[in-house]
Amino acid sequence: MAEQDNAADLSRDEWLGLMLDREAAMRADRRLTNRLAAAKLRFVDACIEDVDFASRRGLDRRNTLQLAQGAWLKAHENLIITGLTGTGKTWLACAFGRQAARLDHSVLYLRMPRLFEDLAMARLDGRFPRLIDKLVRVQLLILDDWGTHTLNDQQRLDLLEIFEERYRRKSTLITAQLPVAQWHDMIGEPMTS
């Protein structure tokens, strides 16, 4: 900063203000970098500004940009993105995840098959309560590839516990090829659905 042409024209208070602004910006960048690393997003470069509204995916520009403002996260609401293979559901979910991190929310991305593997392993090695706490604590949990297979009894109970703890406290974003109307069949238990 001292090497800039107008450095001599700045008062001590202006110098201090610039230094504080720079420090605040560096800390915010570091916090965002850490949040994005912890989020484990599949598409780390996905961002709302790059959403292609001209394609035939049927995305509503106004609705998408309104969601990007993050009011749904503050209200602890959930978001479901459905569509055919190759329509960009995962990319869009990662873009919303990145936007949530920018808005200073913690984010975690998980594919459903991996979630079930992690839950099964955690149950065996005693980490299950800690894993559930981690999944419950994160402000935005992104569950990708929902409905790729019918759930077994343990998977249903695990999901019920996660969703019950998160309900009206945290937000969850789910991507699925399976239309919502078919979720009851995929879950496989009318009492849980």
Residue with tokens 């969850």: 172
Q: What pLDDT is attached to residue 148?
A: 81
CA distance 24 to 140: 25
Query: CB 1: neighbour CB atoms within 10 A?
Result: 9
Q: What pLDDT is attached to residue 15?
A: 67
Q: What pLDDT is attached to residue 63?
A: 94
In the chain (193 residues long), the average pLDDT of successive 10-residue segments reads: 62 75 81 84 91 81 95 97 89 96 95 95 95 96 89 91 94 90 73 50
Q: What pLDDT is attached to residue 170?
A: 97
Q: What pLDDT is attached to residue 189?
A: 64
Q: Who contacts 177 (Cβ-Cβ below 8 Å, separation ≥6)? A: 82, 83, 84, 85, 89, 145, 147, 148
